[in-house]
């Protein structure tokens, strides 16, 4: 599939989400950060906003659920038509069952890891997933500094994916910018989330192109 860019609307103007989506029509995905004030200390948006955004976005939605009990709440995002739904493994009670459910509803199933969560315990369930999201900041807020300590995990995830001959994508999220994206690509990531780098720029689409060019190397 090659390099994919997924701008995060967390850094966009929440009163103009349709414009935010339209401004990055050259990206592959629109990253939507759902936060519940329990799994992370911040509250953003939920299913009603995703339902409204789906028909308004020129590109598919990449929903990143930073919520407790995704087993209960995540399937509704797939039912609504979100093309990719990512849950945090730290919060999931039955990640295999949840991933199967998301896939059966027609969504790509993603599993996210906070910076201190290792990938090794999940080697055997990688075949149940379409994407692993390696967080490169502590989830909860945009505009944080990229954590270099997460790069070895990107590398190990890529090794495991190769070892098992899987098609799975590896996403990085947090502090991704023209300064950090090449390190992530070199470590084996292929889907890149960027919030503040894209939406705090005068021309978001230009940053999307720049990030893609840098990641493609
Ligand atoms: C943080 C979110 C990210 C956030 C990234 O918890 O998951 O998607 O929007 O923002 P930047 O790119 O500014 O670090
Ligand atoms: Zn995110």
Clarify whether 13 is annotated catalytic: no
Question: So what's the pLDDT on residue 146?
Answer: 98
Decide: pTM greater than 0.95: yes
pLDDT at 1: 80
DSSP 144: P
- On the CB side of 122, CA atoms within 13 Å amount to 27
Token digits for 96?
């295999």
Alpha carbons 203 and 155: distance in angstroms, whole number: 32
ipTM: 0.99
Of 36, 62, 173, 190, which residue is the catalytic one?
Answer: 173
Atom of ligand 1 nearest to the CA of 140: 6
pLDDT computed for residue 94 by the predictor: 98
Please report the domains of the chain, with CATH numbers, ordered by start residue. Answer: 4-216 (3.20.20.70)
- Kindly state if the Cβ of 31 falls inside 6 Å of ligand 1: yes
CA 134 to each of CA 40, 56, 115, 159, 174: distance values in angstroms, whole numbers, following the listed order: 16, 28, 7, 14, 9
Distance of CA 81 to the CA centre of its chain: 16
Q: Which residues contact 36 (CB under 8 A, 6 or more apart)?
A: 43, 46, 66, 67, 68
Partners of 85 in the β-ladder: 63, 109
Tens-level pLDDT at each residue, the chain (217 residues): 899 999 999 999 999 999 999 999 999 999 999 999 999 999 999 999 999 999 999 999 999 999 999 999 999 999 999 999 999 999 999 999 999 999 999 999 999 999 999 999 999 999 999 999 999 999 999 999 999 999 999 999 999 999 999 999 999 999 999 999 999 999 999 999 999 999 999 999 999 999 999 999 9
Separation of CA 9 and ligand 2 centre (Å): 9
What does the buried/exposed string (b/e) look like for 36-48 if buried means 16 or more CB atoms within 10 Å of the residue's CB?
beebbeeebbbee
CA 94/CA 139 separation, integer angstroms: 21
How would you class 162 by CB atoms within 10 Å of its CB: exposed for 0-12, middle for 13-18, buried for 19 or more? exposed
Ligand that lies nearest to the alpha carbon of residue 137, given by its number in the listed order = 1
Query: Is 204 touching ligand 1 by the criterion CB < 6 Å?
Result: no
Q: Is 173 one of the catalytic residues?
A: yes
């Amino acid at each position: 599939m090659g390099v994919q860019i997924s701008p995060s609307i967390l850094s966009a103007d929440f009163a103009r989400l349709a414009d935010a989506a339209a401004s990055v029509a050259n990206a592959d995905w629109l990253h939507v950060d759902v936060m519940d004030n329990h799994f992370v200390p911040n509250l953003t948006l939920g299913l009603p906003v995703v339902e409204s955004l789906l028909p308004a976005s020129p590109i598919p939605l990449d929903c990143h659920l930073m919520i407790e009990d995704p087993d209960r709440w995540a399937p509704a995002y797939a039912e609504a038509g979100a093309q990719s739904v990512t849950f945090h493994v730290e919060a999931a009670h039955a990640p295999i069952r949840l991933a199967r459910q998301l896939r059966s509803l027609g969504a790509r199933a993603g599993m996210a890891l906070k910076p201190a969560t290792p990938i090794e315990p999940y080697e055997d369930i990688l075949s149940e997933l379409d994407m692993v999201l390696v967080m490169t900041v502590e989830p909860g807020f945009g505009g944080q500094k990229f954590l270099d300590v997460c790069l070895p995990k990107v590398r190990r995830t890529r090794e495991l994916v190769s070892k098992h001959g899987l098609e799975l994508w590896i996403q990085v999220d947090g502090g991704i910018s023209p300064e950090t994206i090449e390190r992530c690509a070199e470590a084996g990531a292929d889907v890149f989330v960027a919030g503040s780098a894209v939406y705090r720029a005068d021309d978001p689409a230009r940053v999307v192109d720049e990030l893609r060019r840098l990641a493609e190397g």
